[in-house]
């Protein structure tokens, strides 16, 4: 079913390509400039979006084996992700004794986690298995002092975690079937090659760029060239969006059955996972994707992005490795020196009061859709949050 939907999108891109048109919104759309820097709104976005909704905190390829773990700081919270016999689990990376950070390393493999402060020891399932000097410490119900577990789902080769341990939002419901389409990548068998970090502007300024082909032949003319095209078609599932392109060259596949359309063509485009993920395909050193994992910073005007590079096949030859490294270096430069440098300068201008809004055109439907979802979620209380994803 998912592949049929993906091929249907490709056929739609083909028809737009033949007509020389693109998907468009009904009208122009305005976003108040204060939404990009107001501290009260920023605090509300952090609490109601990033602390309430599932976030992609890792890829399966980062923790491929039993016992593998990954730690990450997400919106001020220290998180530990482990692969156990019962599947992938996520916890607050905090010892339940006195609150010390339990695991210091960013990744690795372990059968036990021992706190560096008082040597309390936990297993990868989060159970407290040993207390240092237990007899002297006093009687303790170990079952009550396991690690604080977080809602977690591994699907489509990605790991979603909700930062609120008491969240009742079903992660599968939130995904709105989108993970079924992402599963066509087959990330579960891909190789994690590298992760690098870039600093950026307000998280929405940064994310606006991931939803926009309009700027590509202008801002990136020196790196990607001017023939890349500025038109996009948008397809959505709940708050999640895939950007395709009008593409007449897809006609060479139109008479083939769905299973024979080439993966690298039909899975191209940009796949965004609300509120902070962009997945784009590249080919340096072999087929790869850059998963841009965006987090708001400590202030409204800052953010950072982890660029996670997955490759369908691990590069083996020196040439493949060189080409992959060159691809990753280029993408770091493009995002940091072109996209985010522009966004940081833009961010400063928004505070000047010269305009009271920023404008999204009919051809920028992805940005319009994203900001509408931001507003809808901020306006929704906890008890009605699930209802948003029942209706899409």
pLDDT in tens, 29-63: 999 999 999 999 999 999 999 999 999 999 999 99
Q: Contact 93/71 with Cβ under 8 angstroms?
A: yes
pLDDT in tens, 212-224: 999 999 999 999 9
Q: Contact 332/198 with Cβ under 8 angstroms?
A: yes
The model's pTM: 0.96
Q: What is the 3-state secondary structure (H, E, C) of 360-391?
A: ECCCCHHHHHHHHHHHHHHCCCHHHHHHHHHH
Please confirm whether the linkage preceding 275 is cis (ω < 30° from 0).
yes
Write out the two tokens for 31. 């976003």
The residue with tokens 């709940």 is 238
In terms of Cα–Cα distance, which of 296, 292, 274, 295 is closest to 282? 292
DSSP 8-state code for residue 258: G
The dihedrals phi and psi of 41, each to the nearest 5 degrees, come to -65, -40
Q: Contact 156/310 with Cβ under 8 angstroms?
A: no
pLDDT in tens, 231-277: 999 999 999 999 999 999 999 999 999 999 999 999 999 999 999 99
- 239: three-class secondary structure by DSSP: coil
| Per-residue confidence band for 392, with pLDDT thresholds at 50, 70 and 90 | low
In terms of Cα–Cα distance, which of 205, 247, 230 is closest to 374? 205
Distance of CA 251 to the CA centre of its chain: 32
Q: Where are the beta strands (DSSP E) in 171-239?
A: 191-200, 233-237
The dihedrals phi and psi of 71, each to the nearest 5 degrees, come to -115, 150
| Burial environment of residue 118 by CB neighbours within 10 A (0 to 12, 13 to 18, 19 or more) | middle
pLDDT in tens, 271-311: 999 999 999 999 999 999 999 999 999 999 999 999 999 99
- 188: three-class secondary structure by DSSP: helix
Q: Contact 85/92 with Cβ under 8 angstroms?
A: no
Torsion of CA 186, 294, 236, 157, to 10 degrees: 20
Write out the two tokens for 41. 């709104």
Structural domains in the chain? 2-53+173-391 (3.90.380.10), 55-155 (2.102.10.10)
**DSSP secondary structure of 333-354:** HIIIIIIIHHHHHHHHHHTTSS
Tallying the residues shown for the chain, one arrives at 392
Write out the two tokens for 385. 């949050």
């Amino acid at each position: 079913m998912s592949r049929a939907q993906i091929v249907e999108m490709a056929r739609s891109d083909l028809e737009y390509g033949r007509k020389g048109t693109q998907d468009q919104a009904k009208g122009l759309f305005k976003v108040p400039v204060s939404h990009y820097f107001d501290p009260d709104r920023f605090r509300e976005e952090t609490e109601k979006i990033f602390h309430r909704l599932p976030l992609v905190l890792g890829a399966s390829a980062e923790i491929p084996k039993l016992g593998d773990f990954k730690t990450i700081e997400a919106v001020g919270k220290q998180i530990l992700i482990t692969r156990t016999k019962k599947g992938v689990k996520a916890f607050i990376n905090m010892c339940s004794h006195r609150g010390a950070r339990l695991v210091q390393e960013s990744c690795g493999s372990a059968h036990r986690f021992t706190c560096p402060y008082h040597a309390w020891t936990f297993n990868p399932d989060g159970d407290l298995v040993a207390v240092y000097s237990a007899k002297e410490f006093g009687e303790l119900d170990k079952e009550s002092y396991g690690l604080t577990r977080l809602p977690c789902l591994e699907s489509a080769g990605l790991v979603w975690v909700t930062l609120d341990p008491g969240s009742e939002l079903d992660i599968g419901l939130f995904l709105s079937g989108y993970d079924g389409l992402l599963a066509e990548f087959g990330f579960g068998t891909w190789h994690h090659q590298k992760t690098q970090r870039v600093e950026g502007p307000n998280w929405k300024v940064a994310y606006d760029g991931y939803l926009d082909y309009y700027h590509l032949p202008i801002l990136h003319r020196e790196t990607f060239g001017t023939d890349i095209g500025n038109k996009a078609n948008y397809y959505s599932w709940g708050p999640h969006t895939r950007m395709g392109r009008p593409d007449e060259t897809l006609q060479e596949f139109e008479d083939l059955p769905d299973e024979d359309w080439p993966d690298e063509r039909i899975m191209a485009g940009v796949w965004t996972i609300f509120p902070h993920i962009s997945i784009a395909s590249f080919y340096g050193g072999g087929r790869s994707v850059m998963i841009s994992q965006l987090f708001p910073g400590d202030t409204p005007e800052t953010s950072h992005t982890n660029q996670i590079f997955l490759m369908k096949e691990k590069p083996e030859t020196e040439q493949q490795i060189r080409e992959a490294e060159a691809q990753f270096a280029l993408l770091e430069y493009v995002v940091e020196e072109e996209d985010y440098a522009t966004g940081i300068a833009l961010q400063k201008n928004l505070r000047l009061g010269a305009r009271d809004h920023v404008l999204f055109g009919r051809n920028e439907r992805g940005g319009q859709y994203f900001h509408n979802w931001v507003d809808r979620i901020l306006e929704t209380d906890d008890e009605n949050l699930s209802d948003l994803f029942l209706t899409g």
